[in-house]
Amino acid sequence: MMNAACIFCKIAARQAPAHILYQDDLVTAFRDIHPVAPTHLLIIPNRHIESVNFVTPEDEPTLGRLFRVARHLAEQEGIAASGYRIIVNTNANGGQTVFHLHMHVIGGQRMRYPMG
C-alpha cells in the first residue's frame, strides 16, 4: 500500500509536511512546493500508484475522486469560473519527476498551450 521511499506516500500518511487542503479515504490534496502559477495544487491517490501506466480497474473509483476533488478545490480556490488546467505527467517524456501518480491543478493566470 505505502512505499516507504515515496515522498507523496509520506505526505498522504502525514509523515512528511505539506499544506494539505483536503483528504479522504481515497485521495489527498496539497499545495505544490514549486508553484508555476498563483494556484498550483496536487491531488494524489492515497494508494501508491507509480504512474498512469500502473492504473488498474480497481483504481477507477479513486481516479473519479481525483476529478471530483479537483472541481471542489477549484471552486474553493476561486478559479473555477476563470479556468484552470489539469495535468498528469507520465515518465520521462511527460516530465514526471515524482513516481506516485498525481494530478496538477493549475490556475489563477492565463496559460498558453502547450507549456513546453
The SS3 assignment for 96 reads coil
Q: Is 21 in the site for ligand DGP (CB under 6 A)?
A: no
Q: Is 38 in the site for ligand DGP (CB under 6 A)?
A: no
Q: Which of 40, 48, 100, 102 is catalytic?
A: 102
Q: Distance between CA atoms of 64 and 98, rounded to whole angstroms?
A: 21
C-beta separation of 8 from 102 below 8 A: yes
DSSP track, 1-61: ---TT-HHHHHHTTSS---EEEE-SSEEEEE-SS-SSSEEEEEEESS---SGGG--GGGHH
72 is catalytic: no
Per CB under 6 A, contacts with ligand DGP among 54-93 are 89
Q: What pairing do the DSSP bridges indicate for beta strands 27-31 and 20-23?
A: antiparallel
Q: How many residues bind ligand DGP (CB under 6 A)?
A: 13
Identify the residue among 20, 95, 109, 115 touching ligand DGP (CB under 6 A).
95
| Residue 58 or 112 having the CB closest to ligand DGP | 112
Q: Is 33 in the site for ligand DGP (CB under 6 A)?
A: yes
* Closest CB 32 distance from ligand DGP, rounded Å: 5
Report the interface residues with ligand DGP, using CB under 6 A. 7, 18, 30-34, 42, 89, 95-98
Q: Would you please indicate which residues are annotated as catalytic (active-site) residues?
A: 102
